[in-house]
Structure 1
Amino acid sequence: MHQCCLGVMRKLIVLWLRGNLRTRLSSGQVREISSRLLGLRPFMPDLFARKPRGLEDIDRWKATELRQFALYTGKIVLKGVLSDELYEHFMLFTVALAILVCPQLVKQYTSFASDLLVHFVEEGRKLYGDEFLVYNVHSMVHLASDAHAYGGLDECSAFPFENYLHQLKRLVRSGRNPLSQIIRRLGEIDKHREELNNKPAAVLKTQKPNNVFVLSDLQCCEVVSVVDATGKVDRMVLCRVYDNPEPLFMQPCDSRLIGAYKAQVRHTRMKQLSQRLLVRKAFLIADYFNDVFNTFLDFE
């Protein structure tokens, strides 16, 4: 949260907006990126707490917005606007981060992610100068080993603590004896925990943009409707399946490794699937930049 999102990601954006003239974006480029970010709002599923905002609000961006940009939207909105060398440098960061937040990928690709981050720091000095080498940037060199030791960045992140602080604040009704209030509310929650845990399973959403899933590296899908609603878990759903999606990019690796795909509507078919197969949630950016390809980004 503090090192990667509020630290490195924010620093990169600020350098693009206010840094050296050699790497600073023009006002037209800033407007184009902001327009693209706002254009992504209809495609963002409800699981994202915040929708993208323009770069003019960067001083008010929250850590979750910076995380969203670093992992998902940045690679889309910066392409073709940021210079090639700056974009390739950013891609080192976003790909390494995507590997290190995934518990499955971090087991196998820690060394690769580490190499990407070392290269990111070295190239950053060449592109942005010595001012780029602040503590947060230097710490990128050690990030992969920490992720490997804990099983992924989300296992040693400040995000869960920040989120829980928000929950604790909501338990306080007045300024009098706040600790006592929190203890009483937590006791009430524990008392009804069993009832809360036995709540029925969440209803599968079939409306855009919350109906997109990655089935495998060879298939993505959109849920169209529920065919058989009798079962809670193993019910059948009708899906539009995209076959043989292509990589969104090939450098610094095949993007399918981190769950980024592009596919064409003409390569689809309707198929009934078990809801059990719909595990990897994604979001679909359709017809973006007047492209014939739809872009899928896996975020679970």
Structure 2
Amino acid sequence: MDTSKRLKKSGVASKRSKAIWERFEKEWEEENLPGTSSGVDQQASSYGNVQPDAVEVADIPMESEAADYVSDDDEDADCSVLEDDWSEGELEDEVNEDEYFDADEAPEGNAYASRLRIWALTHKITHSALSDLLVLTRETTNISLPRCAKTLLKTPKQVERHFTAVGEGQLWYQGIQSTLQQYYRSVPPVIRLIEANIAVDGLPMHNSGPTQLWPILMHIVNLPALPIMVLGVFCGATKPSCLEGFLRPLVDDINRVLVQGIDVNGIIIDFRLKAIVADTPARAFIKGVTYPPGLEACIKCKIVGSHDGTKTIYEGTAEVRTDKEFRNGDYVKHQKYYTPLLDIDEVDIVTQTTIADDLHLFALGIEKKLLKGFTTGALHPFPKWSKQEQLEISNILVRIEYPSEIHRKPRALKYLGFWKGSELSAFLYHVSIPLLKNRISDLAYEHHKLFFIAVNLFSSRLFEKYWKYAGQLLEQFVLEYSTVYSRTHLTINVHNLLHVAADVENFGPLPFLSTYRIEDKLGFMKNLARTGHRTLNQIVCRLIELTQLEAADARKKDDTVYPSLKVKKDEVILLVKPKFMLRKGNRNGWFLTQEDQIVRYCTAEKSSGSYFIEGRFLKEKQLTFSQPCSSAIIYNFTARVEDLSQEIVRVELKEIKCKLVAVSLDQGNTFYFSPLLHTLES
């Protein structure tokens, strides 16, 4: 269908004609009729009297040139027609909204408009709903606003001009420097060295279609409070068929900033690539190596797997791979095709591609496999729990109350297939040890403790002196795996545990390599597309709009001062720091002192500039286990409520070591205590 017919069928032609005619009449009236220009002058003067916007919206720089924004001089288009929330029938004849979009001048100096913009972006208000609100506001108030949501949100037009064809899909890449310039457009950076992990992953966009999204993300590890940043996005019906086209812009960009640094507001910031982070399939794809369950699929060592029925198992250990041998192409059966990642200067392709991922390896990999084995028999011949046992365990799980900092409540075992990574992680750290005792064989329980202790030790720099020991525990866990269960279950995930210690030694504790925030960002990006049409255009437009929220000067700031006291009814709540709260009750009241004394919070007060907590201490506590090491090493204890003293002790805030998670399996008589790891001070 040619353009003219599409315009007529969609109704855009008649609406544009009407808009042009109305504009012509307005201009004629202003030139020929007296007194008609006063309203225009008055409106213009109202802009000049308003203070500058509290949140400045700068142009979004692209890799080669600035993005084109809607024209400030054109009249409003009919946004109800050009909206991107189309029905399926309308999509067939959609007119290119970027090409035909006109808009009012955006009210840069209008403080209300600025706050409305932030509100709309924060709450994901659709363009059609926002446009209706703008029109309603204009008609019923004297507030100066545009008619169209795209003008208010600074939606870019013709973003496809910045797309590059890659195979059967398209790539949008804005670059490291442009991304950081946008983030720090009004506020100078506080550091002079950026240490970043680069993450690549793929995800399906729709259940009813083949469209895939492959974002390239950057996690600045030495500024953990910063958001995960989007460097580029590939969108296509399959994963990128041309790895060169997909990764080459990233590789060239990294090499450029490694040499030249990053120019942010005239300040040169050095850049260092820490690690390349991805899950198992994505790692194999971007490195050009064998996918599991290939016989030589391990990216860290030269182990050769073997077939056991329909499975590939990896027994034993092998010599580690090296960057030099990889670059020489010595691994003929491991390397499948060339990867542009080899062209990154100063990168060790073996060492800096990590596998120590607390989400995919520990939670979704090992712990979920074990739980599925206990519930469904997936670890055959290891016996599974009976229906009665599973019901009993489920009843215990749903009664457990995690602290407020853990957002997901435990669910019954019948929903195990739907448990998120964070649920599995919370189970591993805080529930598995007390709950599994006497519910699996002694051999399996002692075996699981090896995994549990190692993961705890690797999760905080406070335990750095035990990291070598933790690596030995994982080696023992892998060695005994076939004895406890069966050699048929020695999958690539089990084998990869042998390489966790090296990753942690090189890059820091597990939170530094975690992909939880990256997965959250991927899910967020997936929801940016409101229809299945022109997916990449929608995502890029939303990302550019949202830079107004994620900029250093525009992000929603927590105005809470830490530490501080908050009074709610007759209760005093102590806010120690972000994601660390103490209040009355078993859920949020337990903490550990520097002398390893367990105290339950009662109240707090500020005196002479210091904060003091009043609480009751446990007169007795027991080790949760003593083999293969004392549970006190990782601050795990067991105690009875009847041993809680009636005496009130006074503890200064600086004497707190960490908050404790208190888990009871007998309705509050006995508690198992484990540290809330992010509250530990190293």
Q: Same fold (TM over 0.5)?
A: yes
Whether 1:239 aligns to 2:623 is: no
Structure 2 Cα separation of the partners of residues 92 and 227 of structure 1? 42
Q: How does 1:27-42 map to 2 (within 5 A)?
A: 27-40=387-400
Structure 2 Cα separation of the partners of residues 177 and 195 of structure 1? 24
Structure 2 Cα separation of the partners of residues 217 and 13 of structure 1? 35
Shift of 1:133: 0.3
- Name 1:134's counterpart in structure 2: 491
Q: Which amino acid aligns with 2:538?
A: N
Structure 1 Cα separation of the partners of residues 596 and 621 of structure 2? 6
SS at match of 1:214: strand
Assess if the C-alpha contact under 8 Å between 2:366 and 2:494 holds in 1: yes
- Name 1:91's counterpart in structure 2: 449
Structure 2 Cα separation of the partners of residues 121 and 6 of structure 1? 17
Shift of 1:79: 1.0
Assess if the C-alpha contact under 8 Å between 2:620 and 2:643 holds in 1: no
| Residue of 629, 642, 645 corresponding to 1:253 | 629
Structure 1 Cα separation of the partners of residues 427 and 383 of structure 2? 19
Q: Which amino acid aligns with 2:417?
A: D
Whether 1:294 aligns to 2:671 is: yes
Shift of 1:199: 3.5
What is the TM-score of this pair, normalised by structure 1? 0.87
Whether 1:152 aligns to 2:481 is: no
Q: How does 1:105-254 map to 2 (within 5 A)?
A: 105=463, 107-166=464-523, 172=528, 177-190=538-551, 192-193=553-554, 196=557, 198-201=559-562, 203=566, 204=574, 205-208=582-585, 209-216=587-594, 218-228=596-606, 234-243=610-619, 245-254=621-630
Distance 1:279-1:173 versus aligned 2 partners, 3 A rule: farther
**TM-align CA RMSD:** 2.6
Structure 1 Cα separation of the partners of residues 552 and 428 of structure 2? 40
Assess if the C-alpha contact under 8 Å between 1:218 and 1:244 holds in 2: no
- Name 1:104's counterpart in structure 2: 462
Assess if the C-alpha contact under 8 Å between 1:93 and 1:117 holds in 2: yes
Distance 1:146-1:250 versus aligned 2 partners, 3 A rule: same
Give CA deviations for 1:87-136 in whole Å, capped at 9, x if unaligned: 1111111111111112211x211221111111111211112112210000
Shift of 1:168: 5.4
| Residue of 77, 82, 85 corresponding to 2:440 | 82
Structure 2 Cα separation of the partners of residues 31 and 63 of structure 1? 22
Assess if the C-alpha contact under 8 Å between 2:430 and 2:663 holds in 1: no
**Structure 2 unmatched runs, 5+:** 1-358, 532-536, 567-573, 575-581, 678-682
Distance 1:94-1:191 versus aligned 2 partners, 3 A rule: closer
Distance 1:33-1:46 versus aligned 2 partners, 3 A rule: same
Whether 1:272 aligns to 2:650 is: yes
Assess if the C-alpha contact under 8 Å between 1:110 and 1:145 holds in 2: no
| Residue of 412, 419, 431 corresponding to 1:54 | 412
Structure 1 Cα separation of the partners of residues 595 and 437 of structure 2? 23
What is the TM-score of this pair, normalised by structure 2? 0.40
Structure 1 Cα separation of the partners of residues 553 and 636 of structure 2? 41
Larger deviation: 178-187 or 252-261?
178-187
Higher fraction of helix: 1
Q: How many pairs were matched up?
A: 293
* Bigger relative contact order, structure 1 or 2 (CA pairs below 8 A, ≥6 apart): 1
SS at match of 1:101: coil
Structure 1 Cα separation of the partners of residues 557 and 486 of structure 2? 54
SS at match of 1:295: strand
Structure 1 Cα separation of the partners of residues 584 and 524 of structure 2? 29
Structure 1 Cα separation of the partners of residues 633 and 553 of structure 2? 42
Structure 2 Cα separation of the partners of residues 85 and 166 of structure 1? 39
Whether 1:281 aligns to 2:631 is: no
**Structure 1 unmatched runs, 5+:** none
Q: Which amino acid aligns with 1:148?
A: E
Assess if the C-alpha contact under 8 Å between 2:403 and 2:588 holds in 1: yes
Shift of 1:291: 8.2
Shift of 1:222: 1.4
Give CA deviations for 1:215-253 in whole Å, capped at 9, x if unaligned: 13530111111234885xx32221112255321111221
Assess if the C-alpha contact under 8 Å between 1:23 and 1:128 holds in 2: no
SS at match of 1:225: strand
Whether 1:15 aligns to 2:376 is: no
- Name 2:159's counterpart in structure 1: none
Shift of 1:152: 0.7
Distance 1:53-1:217 versus aligned 2 partners, 3 A rule: farther
SS at match of 2:601: strand
Q: Which amino acid aligns with 2:399?
A: G
Shift of 1:180: 2.8
Q: Which amino acid aligns with 1:12?
A: L
Assess if the C-alpha contact under 8 Å between 2:548 and 2:554 holds in 1: no
